[in-house]
């Protein structure tokens, strides 16, 4: 995968999590990186540097760090930011975070040296992945804690994971893969730090700013110290939020598509009508997602233009309309799809954005402090994603209820023979209900909260790290709920045998039966649920029907599953 800082997307980033891909830096991106670094070197030589102080607390002391103390100061800076807690990110998520950080550094706004950037690329290609705890970021000034842990590993400190060793000492793993730990050159150290004296307590601040409009000449007794490459280029940005969010939105996309397929199978098993998905109805309310879902369900239920044997068997059914979780599937699933598209667009911009501070502006020959590190954009979008995709599980759980309840389905209670002796799908429905309930709590938006940090310097934060993590948790729950519905729908189809469904839905049923047999008597459900969830997470259900959905429809086919049905008459 060639990274240039401009063309990465969520799908590619998630693909890179597998460990099956290497990274190359585009040649024109290397040119930008070199130019940005040269600009910083020139600024240093000319002594045109100013630090900024903006805490609003009064007395300040400016501390110039001598060359002899730079290396220790850099170590102090990184180690002081390594304050994350909780379990580490998985190797897959760490690959995404590292790849994304490399991508934004390729934009040439950070001032990192090409040598250091190449070290990051080598670490990714060798799957040398630092220990990065998943908790500790407030999402402004960027994801400091997780990115500091990443930088620490690249410096050969702390723990690191590799395929051959698992978790081990970072320096040993780097050396085993012939990668030299990051060791900043003299001109890649810390130029100046700001010490805020509050109640006579020294606080190391992160507000390094190099602004021409405030430029002053600073004289030093020895060689000028240098701009902190670690702080500028390695630990300031929104890459934790965006990386976790990218996994969430891509998994949401495929579970939403497959939820449409499962809903169609449930509709068939419950002998519902496809009239509610008539193109004319959805053309009158032309939301993109709604129309797409309706079209998918029409094609799944009417492939070939001939109603299925199950449909033909109930064409004289007196029921006029179905419950909302069947009839309004396009409207509810549709907004989930549109939400996913919206969030994808936000994240694709974020993946290719420079979120450092200060920004090195090559064309203008200056550096300016700004606020691109603030994670509000992805935080808000991912809160929205959680809310949007949760509703798919809410609909699915209600359809599970309809499948299991004989009052709604005219099928055996809990989809099992010898009810009472067998409990059937009674408890899988409870599992689905519990996951939906958890999601309701997780859908509370984290980005509406903010706590001031860094003694008032960071007085508004996004809480985007939690927004990303809980969005992914919601998506995971949705996958399980839809898997349970798929199990129930396939079991319900068994009670219609020997009648057949459409070719596409029979293909889905056959796919499920390759990993889970028909439920003839009570057995452990969790194994079945995990097996079908794996089918969904690997997109197998979607791949199974994609050719049917994308196939052109013969004119006149889409209007009704059964033109002579009582639904048409009513």
458 belongs to the catalytic site: yes
51 belongs to the catalytic site: yes
Q: Give the list of residues 6+ apart from residue 185 with CB closer than 8 angstroms, or none.
A: 113, 226
**Contact of 195 with 204, CB cutoff 8 Å:** yes
Name the CA dihedral angle for 489, 389, 334, 301, rounded to a multiple of 10 degrees: -10
Check 37, 51, 333, 479 and give the catalytic one.
Answer: 51
366 belongs to the catalytic site: no
- Which of 170, 322, 245 has the alpha carbon at shortest distance from 13? 245
Burial-class residue 201 by CB neighbours within 10 Å (0-12, 13-18, 19+). Answer: exposed
Q: What whole-number distance in Å separates Cα of residue 323 and Cα of residue 326?
A: 6
Q: E strands along 290-428, which residues?
A: 359-361, 366-368
Check 236, 357, 372, 439 and give the catalytic one.
Answer: 236
Q: Rounded to the nearest 5°, which phi and psi values hold at 203?
A: -115, 125
CA 405 from chain centre, in angstroms, equals: 36
- Which of 268, 324, 323 has the alpha carbon at shortest distance from 297? 268
Q: Is 205 helix (H, G, I), strand (E, B) or coil?
A: coil
CA 438 from chain centre, in angstroms, equals: 19
CA 532 from chain centre, in angstroms, equals: 22
Residue length, the chain? 570
Check 81, 298, 496, 509 and give the catalytic one.
Answer: 81
**Tokens describing residue 390:** 């949760």
**Contact of 82 with 152, CB cutoff 8 Å:** yes
480 belongs to the catalytic site: no
Check 247, 376, 391, 458 and give the catalytic one.
Answer: 458
558 belongs to the catalytic site: no
Q: Is 487 helix (H, G, I), strand (E, B) or coil?
A: helix
**Tokens describing residue 164:** 């051959």
Q: What whole-number distance in Å separates Cα of residue 274 and Cα of residue 369?
A: 58
What are the residue numbers of the active site? Answer: 51, 81, 236, 324, 327, 373, 458
């Amino acid at each position: 995968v060639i990274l240039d800082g401009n063309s990465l997307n969520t799908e590619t980033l998630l693909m890179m999590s597998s460990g099956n891909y290497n990274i190359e830096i585009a040649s024109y991106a290397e040119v930008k990186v070199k130019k940005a670094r040269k600009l910083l070197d020139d600024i240093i030589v000319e002594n045109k540097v100013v630090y900024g102080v903006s805490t609003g607390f009064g007395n300040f002391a400016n501390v110039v760090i001598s060359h002899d103390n730079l290396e220790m100061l850099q170590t102090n800076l990184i180690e002081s930011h390594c304050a994350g807690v909780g379990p580490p990110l998985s190797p897959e998520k760490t690959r995404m975070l590292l790849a994304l950080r490399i991508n934004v550094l390729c934009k040439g706004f950070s001032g990192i040296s090409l040598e250091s950037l190449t070290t990051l690329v080598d670490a990714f290609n060798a799957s040398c992945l630092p220990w990065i705890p998943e908790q500790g970021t407030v999402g402004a000034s960027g994801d400091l804690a997780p990115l500091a842990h990443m930088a620490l590993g690249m410096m050969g400190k702390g723990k690191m994971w590799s395929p051959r060793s698992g978790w081990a000492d970072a320096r040993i793993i780097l050396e085993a893969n012939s990668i030299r730990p990051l060791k900043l050159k003299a001109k890649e150290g810390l130029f100046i730090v700001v010490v805020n004296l509050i109640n006579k307590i020294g606080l190391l601040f992160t507000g390094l700013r190099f602004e021409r409009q405030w430029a002053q000449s600073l004289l030093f007794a020895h060689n000028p110290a240098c701009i902190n490459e670690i702080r500028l280029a390695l630990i300031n940005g929104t890459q934790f939020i965006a990386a976790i969010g990218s996994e969430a939105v891509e998994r949401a996309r495929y579970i939403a598509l497959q939820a449409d397929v499962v809903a169609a199978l449930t509709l068939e098993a419950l002998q519902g009508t496809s009239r509610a998905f008539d193109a004319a109805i959805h053309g009158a309310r032309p939301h993109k997602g709604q129309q797409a879902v309706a079209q998918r369900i029409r094609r799944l239920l009417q492939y070939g233009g001939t109603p299925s044997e199950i449909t033909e068997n109930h064409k004289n059914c007196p029921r006029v309309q179905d419950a909302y979780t069947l009839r309004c599937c396009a409207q509810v699933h549709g907004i989930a799809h549109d939400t996913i598209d919206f969030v994808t667009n936000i994240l694709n911009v974020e993946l290719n954005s420079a979120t450092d501070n200060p920004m090195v502006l090559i064309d203008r020959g200056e550096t300016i402090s700004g606020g691109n590190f603030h994670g509000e954009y992805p935080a808000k979008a991912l809160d929205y994603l959680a809310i949007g995709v949760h509703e798919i599980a809410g609909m699915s759980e209600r359809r599970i209820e309809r499948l299991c309840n004989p009052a709604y389905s005219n099928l055996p209670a809990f989809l099992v023979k010898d009810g009472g002796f067998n409990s059937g799908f009674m408890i899988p429905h409870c599992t689905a209900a519990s996951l939906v309930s958890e999601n309701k709590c997780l859908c509370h938006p984290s980005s509406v909260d903010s706590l001031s940090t860094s003694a008032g310097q960071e007085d508004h934060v996004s809480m985007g790290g939690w927004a990303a993590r809980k969005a992914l948790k919601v998506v995971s729950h949705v996958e399980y709920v839809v898997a349970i519905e798929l199990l129930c729908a396939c079991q319900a189809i068994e009670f219609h045998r020997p009648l057949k469904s459409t070719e596409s839905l029979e293909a889905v049923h056959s796919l499920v039966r390759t990993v889970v047999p028909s439920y003839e008597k009570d057995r452990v459900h969790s194994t079945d649920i995990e097996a079908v969830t794996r089918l969904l997470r690997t997109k197998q259900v979607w791949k199974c029907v994609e050719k049917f959905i994308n196939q052109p429809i013969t004119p006149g086919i889409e209007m009704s599953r059964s033109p002579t049905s009582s639904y048409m008459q009513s």
